[in-house]
Amino acid sequence: MKTRVKIEKVIRETSDAFTLVLENAPSIGSYLPGQFLNFFLDINGEEVVRQYSFSSSALIGEPPAVTIKKVAGGLASNFLGEHLRAGDEVSVSTPSGRFTTTYGERRRVLMVAGGSGITPLYSMMKSILAREPESQVTLLYANRSSESIIFKAGLDYLEQKYHGRLEVKHFLSAEDAGPEKQENTVFRKLNRFDFQKYVDAYWKESPEVFICGPDSLMDLSVVSLSDLGLSDDRIRVEAFTGTGGVENTNDASEACTQVEIRDFNGGPVAFRADRNQPVLKSALDAGIRLPHSCKESMCGACKVKLISGQLHMKTNYALPDDELEQGYVLLCSGFPQSEKLALQYG
């Protein structure tokens, strides 16, 4: 569902990252830390959809805000940075995403961030520290240089406020150590031995790990932590860039499925879908522009409700359990499996 919200404020975080503070509109609804909004942008007459994670925490009374880093040559991130000002309106979805957490009693949390990957983790960290007075959080944060650290002042403030409960370690890969020693900064890339130290120190507390950043950092973190014996169910990952889409299958027959989708642009739409490929692909091949963005089951932009028939989602990184229970499915990773399929927006 799309809604229009006003941008209350634009905060410059670094030379290429900025925060959009949004109007606290009831239409956005409530969100969990770590979730994101789809932004529907009109760029040169084309609709461009991109996802931006909340950096704010509603639990501590902050208005909704997302933080965006301009990607070199990137369409949406540069458009947002260069064209939007306080007072402008943007079209966004309701919050989506499964990279989140519910609150418990006491836990030991490790967060690993690279660049703009700090955004959902910052929201989660503020929420965990405020909501769970006995929990402890360690953040390993990788950047090229001190100038590129997003939320540097905010992280320093949180470390003081939650003294002994939050530890931040910066890793700067393209900067040399200056004459003044900085206790919490290492001037090199993060490596597997950094995880060894952490796991050795907190192994008994069975840490929970949240990772968000470039693919190389996420791969290094997951492999290192798995090698050290941390089970997969303790490690949660959010990817900002995908791996190239959901692959077609060749093992189904040549059968087709008759698909009907209700409430699309005010009326129903019908088309035949190949069972060897996701429903979204068949629709686009037939010239029907159903809503979508990532095509990699990450953003939730292609979400619809399954009314009848069978559909198998090959992957799902976007829909939380409660939406799955309500019958929502993703069309970019959903393969039709029955003769007929009835779906509905809304």
Per CB under 6 A, does 92 bind ligand FES? no
Q: Which does 293 bind (CB under 5 to 8 A by kind): ligand FAD, ligand FES, none?
A: ligand FES
Residue labelled with tokens 């905010």: 154
Per CB under 6 A, does 299 bind ligand FAD? yes
Longest dimension (CA), the chain: 71
d(CA 30, CA 322): 15
Per CB under 6 A, does 292 bind ligand FES? yes
Instruction: Using only the alpha carbons of the chain, give its radius of gyration.
Output: 21
Residue of 300, 311, 341, 343 interacting with ligand FES (CB under 6 A): 300
Q: Which of residues 34-63 bind ligand FAD (CB under 6 A)?
A: 36, 50-53
Closest contact distance (angstroms) between CB of 314 and ligand FAD is 17
Per CB under 6 A, does 75 bind ligand FAD? yes
Contact at 8 Å (CB) between 68 and 12?
no
Contact at 8 Å (CB) between 210 and 101?
yes
Nearer to ligand FAD by Cβ, of 67 and 221: the residue is: 67
Nearest Cα neighbor of 125 from 107, 106, 108, 111 is 111
Contact at 8 Å (CB) between 282 and 343?
no
Per CB under 6 A, does 293 bind ligand FES? yes
Per CB under 6 A, does 311 bind ligand FES? no
The distance in angstroms from the start CA to the end CA of the chain is: 7
Contact at 8 Å (CB) between 31 and 97?
no
Closest contact distance (angstroms) between CB of 221 and ligand FES is 24
Task: Give how far the C-alpha of residue 305 lies from the chain's centroid of Cα atoms, to the nearest Å.
Answer: 22
Nearer to ligand FES by Cβ, of 230 and 280: the residue is: 280
Binding site for ligand FES (CB under 6 A): 292-295, 297-302, 318, 330, 332
Residues that bind ligand FAD in the complex, under the rule CB under 6 A: 36, 50-53, 66-69, 71, 73-78, 97, 116, 119, 240-241, 294, 298-299
